[in-house]
């Protein structure tokens, strides 16, 4: 019988997401100050990278609301609608990455401008009249509808519209005449060049206002801008690639343009960051901070949260002996829990909470061994489903492949897996035709290793992704399903005590930054299988047409010419889709589309409708398709005009 004092009743380890966790108080009171948090807090790192559930949002929430950062903070968290606005944003004459960086620069500039105006009012109000540059900044916000807080999507719509049409009001800075011609139309140069001039002018006005306040001498801490939740807008396509790359470029620009008065910290999921490939990528290495969690840190996290919820400071011995059983199946309970989960806070919180819930459902005052065993099966099922969801964008067929391991031994030879995979390969190729080039047993083993589902025997231990920078090798034949997923698949654990000890020892050193950055030079990309080249080429033609049709809507062409041009583009799009499978190579079709776009631009010029914005845009997109044919689909440098 349980002791009259029943800790299970009050035991609580927190919520799955940082926002609710912070509201409930556990994140605030039981927060673990990791190296990544300290680096972001003190300005040593500006790019926090971690796998899903590793604690990125927890660090963001703690910086924004925890009270330890001495200065003001501003959070930017795009949702699906905001992501769509950024993905659709394009400017003639500049690359997609650069165009996306400009809209991020606009968001940052508005955030900084509002902070400067509010800061001047709150901390520099000794004089009756604010400095003229601050008043100009206040007028800018009011004139452009940015004076008050608004939904991110609404701010993006205003910004994209004004940057594309060169209608951002800057007259309060006395320089608007330099951005427009005498008849009120956009000044000379491409859309991209005009947008850059507008942003340069706005940022110059902000710097002048900051200088007038002289906050550096006053010792005021910088504004900390935090950008999180990018996974909500990620779709593993070139526009999403440009969205994140543009953000990185804008953050680097922010650090350069505002100096020590503003800092920016980005929180990016590792599987997203690993896909990025752009010319300036090497310039962010010193800013990167990977989130890692050791078993000891996760035990401290569990202890801190249990102590907060029970309102008494526990010791590890009390947690793993009084509140929880001291051992499960002869193994120390903490070791057992670590072995059956991936080493990240969300997994630890969910597993501990599930053990508590099972005990509560059964009327137990303390968590018993039988409760932990019952929770293990349910938790394993959760994690198998979560793994499929986490990597659904890059590996959409994981659920079907997981089924190959059901009701078997947790150890599988490479040859045995190859035989199983061959039985479903034809069905996978039919269901996922865009990936047929890569649906091989070898590529699948590499993928399962990359996501942390499989390990391989190396010497006397089993290596899992994250514990090694070496990808799975062709000569490595012994594959092991991670203990976290075995119960869900009804895998037999095997009777060897050495096998259990090896598994436990090898996983104990597994850090939480398990991701796919080491998958280069094989058929699997950094965050998933690559879509076959022909499919990518057709998708790129489709995106080009969509951009051109959107661009026509805001062009200065007469209505009837705009309609005729739109019909010509639509006909070209339909023709490409119809003829793509009629014997002519996809490369030839894409080259034909490129030539047709150039011909359309020439036709408009000959007919006297030499609208620079349209003809240049048609030429830009034609050149883009030519570059795509060179194999640079999705790369930052290949994007010519978004």
pLDDT computed for residue 191 by the predictor: 84
Report the alpha-carbon distance of residue 202 to residue 199 in Å, rounded: 5
pLDDT computed for residue 29 by the predictor: 66
Question: Which tokens hold the place of 428?
Answer: 């996978």
pLDDT computed for residue 632 by the predictor: 45
- Widest CA span in the chain: 93
**Stretches in the chain below the pLDDT threshold 50:** 1-4, 177-178, 180-186, 495-527, 579-583, 632-642
Task: Using CA atoms of 38, 41, 44, 48 in order, give the dihedral in degrees to the nearest 10.
Answer: 80
Q: Helix 533-553 to helix 612-629 angle, to the nearest 10 degrees?
A: 170
CA Rg value for the chain: 28
* Among the four given CATH numbers 1.20.120, 3.30.70, 1.10.8, 1.10.260, the one describing domain 7-19+294-384: 1.10.8
pLDDT computed for residue 384 by the predictor: 95
Domains of the chain, by residue range, sit at: 7-19+294-384, 35-290, 391-529, 533-638
CA distances from 434 to 122, 397, 426, 445 (A): 57, 12, 13, 19
pLDDT computed for residue 531 by the predictor: 57
Assign a CATH topology to domain 533-638.
Answer: 1.20.120
527 secondary structure, DSSP code: T
203 CB-near residues (< 8 Å, 6+ apart) = 105, 109, 257, 258
Residue with structure tokens 């394993």? Answer: 380
pLDDT computed for residue 176 by the predictor: 53
Q: How far is CA 50 from the centre of its chain?
A: 10
* DSSP string across 44-88: S-SEEEE-TTSSHHHHHHHHHHSS-S-S-EEEE---HHHHHHHHH
């Amino acid at each position: 019988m349980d002791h009259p004092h029943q800790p299970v009743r009050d035991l609580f380890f927190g919520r799955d997401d940082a926002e609710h966790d912070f509201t409930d108080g556990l994140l605030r009171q039981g927060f673990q100050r990791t190296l990544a948090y300290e680096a972001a807090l003190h300005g040593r790192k500006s790019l926090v990278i971690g796998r899903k559930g590793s604690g990125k949002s927890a660090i963001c929430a703690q910086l924004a609301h925890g009270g330890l950062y001495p200065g003001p903070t501003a959070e930017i968290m795009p949702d699906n609608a905001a992501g769509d606005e950024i993905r659709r944003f394009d400017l003639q004459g500049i690359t997609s990455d650069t165009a996306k960086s400009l809209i991020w620069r606009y968001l940052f500039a508005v955030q900084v401008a509002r902070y400067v105006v509010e800061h001047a009012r709150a901390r520099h109000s000794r004089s009756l009249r604010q400095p003229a540059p601050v008043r100009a900044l206040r007028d800018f916000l009011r004139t452009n509808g940015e004076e008050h807080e608004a939904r991110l999507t609404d701010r993006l719509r205003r910004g994209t519209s004004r940057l594309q049409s060169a209608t951002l009001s800057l007259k309060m800075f006395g320089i608007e005449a330099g951005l427009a011609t005498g008849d009120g139309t956009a000044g000379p140069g491409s859309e991209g060049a005009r947008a850059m001039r507008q942003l340069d002018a706005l940022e110059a006005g902000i710097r002048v206002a900051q200088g007038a306040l002289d906050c550096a001498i006053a010792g005021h801490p910088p504004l900390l801008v935090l950008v999180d939740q990018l996974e909500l807008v990620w779709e593993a396509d070139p526009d999403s690639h440009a969205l994140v790359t543009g953000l990185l470029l804008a953050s680097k620009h922010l650090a350069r343009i505002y100096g020590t008065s503003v800092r920016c910290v980005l929180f990016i999921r590792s599987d997203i960051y690993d896909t990025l490939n752009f010319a300036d990528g090497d310039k962010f290495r010193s800013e990167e901070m990977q989130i890692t969690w050791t078993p000891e840190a996760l035990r401290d996290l569990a202890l801190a949260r249990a102590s907060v919820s029970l309102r008494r400071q526990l010791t590890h011995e009390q947690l793993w002996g009084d509140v929880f059983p001291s051992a499960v199946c002869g193994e120390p309970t903490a070791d057992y829990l670590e072995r059956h989960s991936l080493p990240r806070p969300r997994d630890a919180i969910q597993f501990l909470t599930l053990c508590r819930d099972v005990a509560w459902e059964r009327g137990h005052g303390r968590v018993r061994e039988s409760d932990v065993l019952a929770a293990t099966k349910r938790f394993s099922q959760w994690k198998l489903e979560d793994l499929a969801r986490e990597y659904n964008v890059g590996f959409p067929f994981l659920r079907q492949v997981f089924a190959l391991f059901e009701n078997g031994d947790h150890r599988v030879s490479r040859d045995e897996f190859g035989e199983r995979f061959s039985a479903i390969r034809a069905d996978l190729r039919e269901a996922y035709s865009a990936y047929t080039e890569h649906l091989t047993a070898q590529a699948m083993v590499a993928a399962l290793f990359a996501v942390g589902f499989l390990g391989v025997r190396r010497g006397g231990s089993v290596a899992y992704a994250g514990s090694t920078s070496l990808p799975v090798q062709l000569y490595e034949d012994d594959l092991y399903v991670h203990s976290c997923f075995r119960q869900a698949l009804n895998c037999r654990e095997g009777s060897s005590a050495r096998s259990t000890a090896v598994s436990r020892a090898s996983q104990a050193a597994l850090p939480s930054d398990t991701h796919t950055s080491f998958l280069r030079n094989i058929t699997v990309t950094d965050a998933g299988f690559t879509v076959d080249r022909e499919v990518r080429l057709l998708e790129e033609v489709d995106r080009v047409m969509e951009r051109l049709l959107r661009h026509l809507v805001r062009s200065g062409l007469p209505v009837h010419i705009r309609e005729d041009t739109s019909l010509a583009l639509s006909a070209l799009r339909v023709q490409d889709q119809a003829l793509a499978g009629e014997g002519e190579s996809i490369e030839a079709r894409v080259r034909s589309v490129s030539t047709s776009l150039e011909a359309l631009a020439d036709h408009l010029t000959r007919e006297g409708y030499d609208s620079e914005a349209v003809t240049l845009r048609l030429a830009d997109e034609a050149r883009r398709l030519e570059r795509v044919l060179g194999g640079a689909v999705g790369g930052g440098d290949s994007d010519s005009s978004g």
